Amino acid sequence: MAAPVEASTEAPVKQKYAPGAHPNSLAALTYHEGRPPMYGQKKVGHELLTTDDAWGGVLLLAAELGSLRTKGGETIPNVSDLLQKLGLAIAEPGIKDKLVRLLAPVFKRVEENQRIN
């Protein structure tokens, strides 16, 4: 009769990978290209500093112009999208007329709201 084989009490050695470097993680990242950039370029972060009053105005402008996003089930103004649209509009020919048409209804509504309040 053969001698019984004892089970090993040592845990198998796990190979360690840096965060995000596991082959399974890398494979999951490369099986598709992801969502294409909305404006043809990758967006990068920039810092923006304003007063609270100016920020409130920018949020109002974004909401009035329909630059909105959903966060936690709530629709909120999307300042990033607003700045993207304004920046791209400035790069186009005939910007003055385009901005006047874009902003005129907003200023009219703001003035009406100020008269009511």
pLDDT in tens, 37-69: 777 888 888 999 999 999 998 998 888 878 888
The structural domain count of the chain equals 1
Three-state secondary-structure class, residue 84: helix
The verdict on residue 70 lying in a domain is yes
Comparison of pLDDT for 26 and 95, the residue scoring more: 26
Q: Report residue 22 as tokens.
A: 């596991």
Q: Which residues pair with 74 in a beta bridge?
A: 71
Q: What's the whole-number mean pLDDT along residues 82-99? A: 77
Cα 113 to Cα 81: distance, rounded to the nearest angstrom: 25
For 8, 10, 11, 67, 111, the CA distances from 5, given in Å and listed in that order, are 9, 15, 17, 70, 88
The verdict on residue 76 lying in a domain is yes
Percentage of the chain modeled with pLDDT above 90:
11
The verdict on residue 98 lying in a domain is yes
Residue with tokens 């007063």: 51
pLDDT of amino acid 28? 76
The verdict on residue 29 lying in a domain is no
